[in-house]
Amino acid sequence: MQYPARLFADTATIVARCGVLLLLYAYVFSLNDGTIKGTTFAMVAWSMFFYFSFITLSSSRISRAIMQDITSGQIEVLLSKPITYLSYRAWWQIGAGVYPFIVTTILGAVTLAMTVGIPQTMKIPLFLPTLLVTFIGAIIVTLFIYTIVGLLSFWIEDVLPIFWIVDKAVMILGGSYLPVALFPDFMYKIALYSPFGASVFVTHTVYESWTTIWYKLISIQLFWIVVLGGIIYFMFSRAVKNVSVNGG
Amino acid sequence: MMQELHFALYAIKKNIQSSAELRTSFLMNIIGMAINNIAFIILWVYFIQAVGIIGGWTAADIIGLQGFTAICYGLVFSFAGGIKKLPDYVSSGSFDRFMLSPKNILMRVSTSSFTPSGIGDLVFGVICLLIYGILMHASMVQILLIMLLVALATIIFFSVTVVIYSVSFLFTDAAFVVDGLFTLFLTPSLFHGGAFQGALRAFFMFVIPALLVGTIPVEIVKDISMGKLAIVAVFTVIWLVLSIKIFNRAVRHYESSNLMTFGG
């Protein structure tokens, strides 16, 4: 709440990306009699909104924060504190993103509900509990992916290029500009089984297929949480050995 | 004027030499950005596959659009990368050194920094436009139009960027506000141009000139439309003049924070 400028930036971003995209898709769907590949505009709108609302959490910024700590030498100070560095960074990131996320999500959801309506698939009892579970899973997978990118700073001079590529993989496979329902088959499979797609599974929850695949997708998220968690543990324990804390 | 330009070129040369010192990082930034940009082509090409051709726009046009936008972005943020640092300069007080410089302030600020990843955008953009030219079997007139439009679109891109970043002088911590405004300008310039119709098209041409950077140039080249070319040329002049005036007025709001910041 102390950072109204950031709230403005997040709102502008969601309007620029999601708002304009939805206007474009509304036009495109109207040209196709309201349905493309069996999907309605309302479903696509909510799916894309979930993507853009999710990214206002800014979980991906954890990699830049870790990179800055490492390149500035601040990591030395943080490691000497009686807290676990990575969990401190993760909670800090979640805390920083919660307020813009809540505000933009509430505003966006109300606007969408009033303009395009709520699809039937979001009115079933299964929707909200599974959305919550997959949302929590998505936050953890996202934090883990970007933590790995950030930790690479211990070995690589500049991890920004890797960050860009990972970020774009998440953007494509998460269903940002092209909703997952419109993916070609092979791309849909990559989105399903890769950690990049799993990090934004919330975009799958609005489609009819969700009622039959939700447990599979949540299992995939769990799988990636375990695998990526293991990788982080391995990388961090190796990285810490490279740091010499001098104190003073 | 020539002296100013000579100094700007000298500053750019020194910035490139300085960035190239970290050779691995320099190359990784260029290659990484070029790969990063491919994402937009993949997305919009699959978009066309899924929904069909809209507004006469084919996959080749999407490549052209990405080419124009990437070149503008690359040229502005590599050679005039300092403009992106304006919020930092203002909030940290290091803008003092530009005020004290006898050179043109806007030119001095713009050329104060170089972003290696911008070269990646530039390379990517050039490749895209080459592919676009080949795919559309471009005539000599169309090739000349592409070159002219790259210049005009870059001036528009630079001018709008200057206007947006001038906001830095109006707020205490403007970095986030500037980022938000810049996203409002940049994002539509990367979207499928054929899907912009009616009021939305007018808004993103005349209020936020995002479509003048990529979409309209692609349509000019495709249709060899001299009417649209005239619109782009007129708006280039308007935005350039406007940006210089706005920047100079915004600078008057600057208050030094009296921090000791020298050089750079």
Tell me the pLDDT tens digit for each residue of A200-248: 999 999 998 899 999 999 999 999 999 999 999 999 999 888 776 555 4
- B261 pLDDT higher than 70: no
Name every chain B residue with its beta carbon within 8 A of the beta carbon of A12. Answer: 180-181, 183-184
C-alpha A209/C-alpha A37 separation (Å) is: 13
C-alpha A33/C-alpha A178 separation (Å) is: 19
- A76 pLDDT higher than 60: yes
Nearest to A13 among B29, B39, B180 (CB): B180
Cβ <8 Å between B195 and A27: yes
Q: Would residue B104 count as lying in a domain?
A: yes
Q: What is the pLDDT of residue A6?
A: 67
- Residues of B at the A interface, defined by Cβ within 8 angstroms: 22, 24-25, 28-29, 31-33, 35-36, 38-40, 42-44, 46-47, 49-52, 54, 117, 171, 173-177, 179-181, 183-184, 187-188, 191-192, 195-197, 200
Cβ <8 Å between A28 and B195: yes
- Residue A14 touches chain B, beta carbons under 8 Å: no
pTM of the predicted model, to two decimals? 0.84
Q: Of the ranges A41-50, A68-77, A137-146, A232-241, which one carries the lowest mean pLDDT score?
A: A68-77
Nearest to B183 among A13, A158, A178 (CB): A13
- B6 pLDDT higher than 90: no
Residue-averaged pLDDT of chain A: 87
CB A56 within 8 A of CB B183: no
Can you list the alpha helix ranges (DSSP code H) found in chain B? 2-20, 23-51, 59-79, 86-92, 96-99, 105-110, 116-135, 140-165, 175-189, 198-202, 215-223, 226-251
Q: What is the pLDDT of residue B257?
A: 65
Burial of B132 (0-12, 13-18, 19+ CB in 10 A): buried
Residue-averaged pLDDT of chain B: 86
Q: Would residue A247 count as lying in a domain?
A: no
Q: Would residue A248 count as lying in a domain?
A: no
Segment B235-243 shows an average pLDDT of 95
Query: How far separated are the first and last CA of chain A, in Å rounded?
Result: 35
CA B205 to chain A, closest CA, distance in angstroms equals 14
Name every chain B residue with its beta carbon within 8 A of the beta carbon of A22. Answer: none
Q: Of the ranges A177-186, B63-72, B253-262, which one carries the lowest mean pLDDT score?
A: B253-262
Quote the DSSP letter at residue A81: S
Nearest to A165 among B35, B46, B197 (CB): B35
Name every chain B residue with its beta carbon within 8 A of the beta carbon of A20. Answer: 187-188, 191, 200
Segment B238-254 shows an average pLDDT of 92
C-alpha B164/C-alpha B177 separation (Å) is: 9
Cβ <8 Å between B175 and A31: no
Q: Would residue A48 count as lying in a domain?
A: yes
Q: Would residue B216 count as lying in a domain?
A: yes
C-alpha A20/C-alpha B191 separation (Å) is: 9
Q: Would residue B262 count as lying in a domain?
A: no
DSSP letter string, A195-222: HHHHTTGGGGTTSTTHHHHHHHHHHHHH
| Two tokens, residue A141 | 């997978």
Q: What is the pLDDT of residue A232?
A: 95
pLDDT bracket for residue A5 (50, 70, 90): low
Q: How many domains does chain B have?
A: 1
Sequence-distant (≥ 6) Cβ neighbours of residue A80 within 8 angstroms:
A245, A247
Q: What is the pLDDT of residue B156?
A: 96
Exposure string over A159-183, b if 16+ CB within 10 A, otherwise e: bbbbbbbbbbbbbbbbbbbbbbbbb
Q: What is the pLDDT of residue B224?
A: 87
Name residue B178's amino acid: V
User: Is residue A36 within a helix (H) or strand (E), and if so which, with residue range?
Assistant: strand A35-36
What is the domain extent for residue B182? 2-251
Q: Would residue A107 count as lying in a domain?
A: yes
Nearest to B176 among A9, A17, A21 (CB): A9
pLDDT bracket for residue B245 (50, 70, 90): very high
Q: What is the pLDDT of residue B264?
A: 47
Name every chain B residue with its beta carbon within 8 A of the beta carbon of A180. Answer: none
Segment B223-236 shows an average pLDDT of 92
Q: What is the pLDDT of residue A177?
A: 84
Name every chain A residue with its beta carbon within 8 A of the beta carbon of B28. Answer: 157-158, 161
Nearest C-alpha in B relative to A158: B25
Per-residue pLDDT reduced to its tens digit, A163-188: 988 998 998 898 888 888 888 888 89
What is the domain extent for residue A161? 4-242
Q: What is the pLDDT of residue B252?
A: 87
Segment B253-260 shows an average pLDDT of 70
Segment A38-43 shows an average pLDDT of 89
CB A168 within 8 A of CB B42: no
- Residue A37 touches chain B, beta carbons under 8 Å: yes
CB A84 within 8 A of CB A46: no
User: Is residue A35 within a helix (H) or strand (E), and if so which, with residue range?
Assistant: strand A35-36
Q: Would residue A82 count as lying in a domain?
A: yes
ipTM of the complex: 0.78
Q: Would residue A16 count as lying in a domain?
A: yes
Cβ <8 Å between B42 and A172: yes
Q: Would residue B236 count as lying in a domain?
A: yes
- Residue A1 touches chain B, beta carbons under 8 Å: no
Nearest to B32 among A21, A164, A178 (CB): A164
Nearest to A178 among B43, B52, B200 (CB): B43
> What angle, rounded to 10 degrees, do the helices at A127-151 and A160-174 form?
160
Cβ <8 Å between B31 and A17: no
Q: How many domains does chain A have?
A: 1
Q: What is the pLDDT of residue A248?
A: 47
pLDDT bracket for residue A130 (50, 70, 90): very high
Q: Would residue A233 count as lying in a domain?
A: yes
Q: Would residue A118 count as lying in a domain?
A: yes
Cβ <8 Å between A27 and B183: no
Q: What is the pLDDT of residue A247?
A: 53
